[in-house]
Structure 1
């Protein structure tokens, strides 16, 4: 009995606590980070969203984006066309999904419950948790490479340190130390709640943005122009069975699919908006300006560096090491490299924290609301980097990384179901109280699962999974129709799942899909919002912080 009492006492101790006066009840479906956000917690203005989307652009991956399309054999104008069209679609899809968070102030974790059922929502959650674990580990490793460059800029001998790992370890001591430093420097920021991200976003945008522009200007000044890369024309191999049109289509699919995870959980962050216009101004302007500009700056810098060093360096850490001659350069060169590498590293840090750790924390909270909130979930996601062992993935399993990058095959159908359900079937109306209970909930469906969503999801990825398999296997002569479907996987998955889900709901209708609560029971809405939605405003709580709304 003593052991039983100790276990019960420990259980009570580790369970999350919430302020009941602020509707922060903690139970099997709810905790402080899952409830609809009240006005006083919605602190993000337009710059928060500008910064949030900028950190998804001011990074190594977006800098290298043009190289992917040039490697296919496409020309520079064609590569930039893919980037622009891709950004247009990213803005469209992300705004489509984020609107639920702007209106009802709930995140993806709760949003998926009204489409999949309360228990069925675990299917998309588990997919995202797996992705968050792996991408967090990979991002920590990439950030570690930048930290290693920073250390080399301070202590040049670091680049020449002895490798103490054996031949079975697919990395070096130099790389591993950078990973450890990056991981430990990132950890304290996990205690920051999303409401407090404005200052880090400001630092990232100013530091990394200024650094990128300065790097491009320096390269152009030293090279006195750009190299042959800038005028590269279309050079598709004669042996290729794909023309430029299909390669452009593949590039657009890859561009949108690369941010599919961020599109899926857009409402996790849009719910923090203090006003809808702040999201629209910040997200749209950043997605276009930062997203397109960074790729352009990376292209120009790589082209100018080609003229300086005689080779094309797309990976910033590699080019930075060359710039300071692997640590043997002048103190001025090392200082400049440190500034640039540190800016990239800090951006990678917050991109990883927001896009993977915090998102993973929210998703884990959806599985274990009694015990996990954003902070605990983010820590779990971060610790999982040691279990995932990214040095094994990066240096050995290139095929696995290709599969990971193509996971939008499974995410696009989820986005299609979410959009169809919210806009076409529910007419943008949600009954919030029924998202947090199983008894008498209109979102419980059959034993907590909406079979319509599962069937529609499978129909969305079934036509494109074959193309993914043959592409990853690098089949020299794959069936052409399979690859063509795969090159359009995002759009195919989105529209097929949306159409099938709509048809199933017409054939097997769910009653009262467009119902809402009569009263604002969570204190979610301002008086003006409540009037616009058509619910009775809640009684003001004297302990709630005063919020002035425009």
Structure 2
């Protein structure tokens, strides 16, 4: 057996075909793996919102000159936009139980899909590294509550390394602790998500309560006024603020169908998505503002990260009471970082890589590869230097918003929620999603039209010394709305003028054992159990190659 043959993903179940387009983790999710209900979806979003990044996110909004009231207004509006896009963009998941990777074949074509998948793969690796470093800081807080010598550990690295010995040790241990969890199937992670979200919210609530009670008031940030030279600048600050807030979650919104495909029923994911994003996504930043304002008065500077507030307890007074509080807070924040990084970046990265190399990579292998590659990113540079790399990655909504616009318009408007699932797993040139040589050139044209105007602004954000016109910068500041609207409109227009073939065609049989008997009855298709599988023709990549070789021999 060859080395590559040994590396291939093993077939599983009745539909165990593994080739260059499918494996068990890529085909539509069957009922046996759809285990997520209301509270599973709610805890998924709660983990995303009850995290250090969301707590400290309001700092960037205040830094552009907005006051606290305006900042919270932007947060609320931004969360409503995020919730709406998450619901509409995740529809292929709760309608047909397919994820982002397969949806890319619908919009970019069977071969062109690798483009959209590659973008998401890069984001998963980068944000895994970033959140893992933050998780290491939380783990370091726990170790510091156990040992004062760990808190005051001597740094053996030179200043050029841009990290301390203590932080590197914590980061390494966090990475090692994460790897076993990456091997758990996503549908089985619901208990971890529920526990982590509840624990983290309690930890954040306690940190917020301590800050207010010890300061005796809300602090100076609430009395600060907004500062803008003109009403126009003020208005664009709002738009930029919404874009900035959305940008922090744009990668997660883009691949929502990866997780809604685990939902038990079609509509169960919608209410918890809205509640999780709008309610928790607004409360947690408010905790952050109150706490930062209180610490400004107590310490002379705002402390925006909750783990740093807990660390300050140990620095001020290394007593049993402070150590217990720091341990509790650190444990809660660690649970958040583990769950968030595991599902939002590790498992998501595994799904992305499975879409790139399905014959050799499944979710588990891809998740572990994401973790290993995250070291290359050197995430300590994000937090300990003025790295322009993180500015660029935070601006990836320039690319993600057009993709979301194309998906939403394609699924809801162009195809009116009708998909032919079997055509998403074949290299057959006569099938619906082959387009032109496996590439949907219309989607690529639309993507570049919608994203290109934002690139100069992205460059300016990475290097402010490069001057740009006001109009270009304004487009960049509102790219999440402009990019989505342009891509959505152009995709509808292009497909009206040049409609794809068999635009509303669907399968007449449940070829992947995806749907329950009730779902099949509602959809008017033949259940998997009633299909004559011996007469099935599977047009996979390998079958096409074999057919081609036979044709060549026949012609000779």
Contact 1:141/1:179, CA 8 A, preserved across alignment: yes
Find the residue that maps to 1:202 and give its secondary structure: helix
1:350 equivalent to 2:339? Answer yes
Q: CA deviation at 1:361?
A: 0.5
1:94-173 matches, cutoff 5 A = 94-173=86-165
Gaps of 5+ in 2: 532-556
Aligned equivalents of 2:418 and 2:524: distance in 1? Answer: 10
Contact 2:307/2:333, CA 8 A, preserved across alignment: no
Residue by residue over 1:247-291, the C-alpha shift from the partner in whole angstroms, topping out at 9 and shown as x without a partner, is 011001111122111111000000000013320122111112211
Give the structure 2 partner of residue 545 of structure 1. Answer: none
Give the structure 2 partner of residue 534 of structure 1. Answer: 524
Give the structure 1 partner of residue 550 of structure 2. Answer: none
Residue by residue over 1:91-114, the C-alpha shift from the partner in whole angstroms, topping out at 9 and shown as x without a partner, is 100101111110100001111111
Count of aligned positions: 530
Q: Which of 53, 56, 65 in structure 2 is aligned with 1:64?
A: 56
Give the structure 1 partner of residue 286 of structure 2. Answer: 296
Contact 1:305/1:313, CA 8 A, preserved across alignment: yes
Find the residue that maps to 1:313 and give its secondary structure: coil
1:216 equivalent to 2:208? Answer yes
Give the structure 2 partner of residue 246 of structure 1. Answer: 236
Aligned equivalents of 1:100 and 1:476: distance in 2? Answer: 41
Q: CA deviation at 1:533?
A: 2.3
Give the structure 1 partner of residue 534 of structure 2. Answer: none
Residue by residue over 1:306-362, the C-alpha shift from the partner in whole angstroms, topping out at 9 and shown as x without a partner, is 333333111223322222216x52111011011112211220111111111111101
TM-score calculated relative to the size of structure 2: 0.92
1:48 equivalent to 2:37? Answer no
1:478-517 matches, cutoff 5 A = 478-517=468-507
With over 3 angstroms needed to count, the CA separation of the structure-2 counterparts of 1:190 and 1:31, relative to structure 1, is same
1:263 equivalent to 2:286? Answer no
1:364 equivalent to 2:353? Answer yes
Q: Which of 431, 435, 458 in structure 1 is aligned with 2:424?
A: 435
Give the structure 1 partner of residue 184 of structure 2. Answer: 192
Q: CA deviation at 1:241?
A: 9.7
Structure 1 residues 519-528 or 215-224, which shifts more?
Answer: 215-224
Residue by residue over 1:38-60, the C-alpha shift from the partner in whole angstroms, topping out at 9 and shown as x without a partner, is 11210001111111101111111
Residue by residue over 1:51-74, the C-alpha shift from the partner in whole angstroms, topping out at 9 and shown as x without a partner, is 110111111111012211111111
Aligned equivalents of 2:224 and 2:302: distance in 1? Answer: 12
Q: CA deviation at 1:372?
A: 0.6
Contact 1:409/1:493, CA 8 A, preserved across alignment: yes
Aligned equivalents of 2:133 and 2:181: distance in 1? Answer: 17
Give the structure 2 partner of residue 11 of structure 1. Answer: 4
Contact 2:155/2:166, CA 8 A, preserved across alignment: yes
Q: CA deviation at 1:476?
A: 7.8
Aligned equivalents of 2:324 and 2:32: distance in 1? Answer: 43
Contact 2:207/2:306, CA 8 A, preserved across alignment: no
Gaps of 5+ in 1: 1-5, 542-550
Q: CA deviation at 1:199?
A: 1.1
Contact 2:392/2:461, CA 8 A, preserved across alignment: no
Contact 1:471/1:483, CA 8 A, preserved across alignment: no
Contact 1:24/1:35, CA 8 A, preserved across alignment: no
Q: CA deviation at 1:81?
A: 0.2
1:330 equivalent to 2:323? Answer no
Aligned equivalents of 2:170 and 2:415: distance in 1? Answer: 49
Contact 2:204/2:306, CA 8 A, preserved across alignment: no
Contact 2:515/2:527, CA 8 A, preserved across alignment: yes
Aligned equivalents of 1:155 and 1:314: distance in 2? Answer: 25
1:311-330 matches, cutoff 5 A = 311-325=301-315, 329-330=318-319
Aligned equivalents of 1:422 and 1:538: distance in 2? Answer: 24
Give the structure 2 partner of residue 388 of structure 1. Answer: 377
Contact 1:65/1:295, CA 8 A, preserved across alignment: yes
Aligned equivalents of 1:353 and 1:389: distance in 2? Answer: 18
With over 3 angstroms needed to count, the CA separation of the structure-2 counterparts of 1:178 and 1:117, relative to structure 1, is same
Find the residue that maps to 1:171 and give its secondary structure: coil
Give the structure 2 partner of residue 544 of structure 1. Answer: none
Find the residue that maps to 2:485 and give its secondary structure: helix
TM-score calculated relative to the size of structure 1: 0.93
> RMSD in angstroms over aligned alpha carbons?
1.8
Contact 2:423/2:431, CA 8 A, preserved across alignment: yes
Give the structure 2 partner of residue 404 of structure 1. Answer: 393
Find the residue that maps to 1:351 and give its secondary structure: helix
With over 3 angstroms needed to count, the CA separation of the structure-2 counterparts of 1:20 and 1:222, relative to structure 1, is closer
Aligned equivalents of 2:19 and 2:434: distance in 1? Answer: 17
Q: CA deviation at 1:473?
A: 1.3
Aligned equivalents of 1:233 and 1:305: distance in 2? Answer: 19
With over 3 angstroms needed to count, the CA separation of the structure-2 counterparts of 1:540 and 1:230, relative to structure 1, is farther
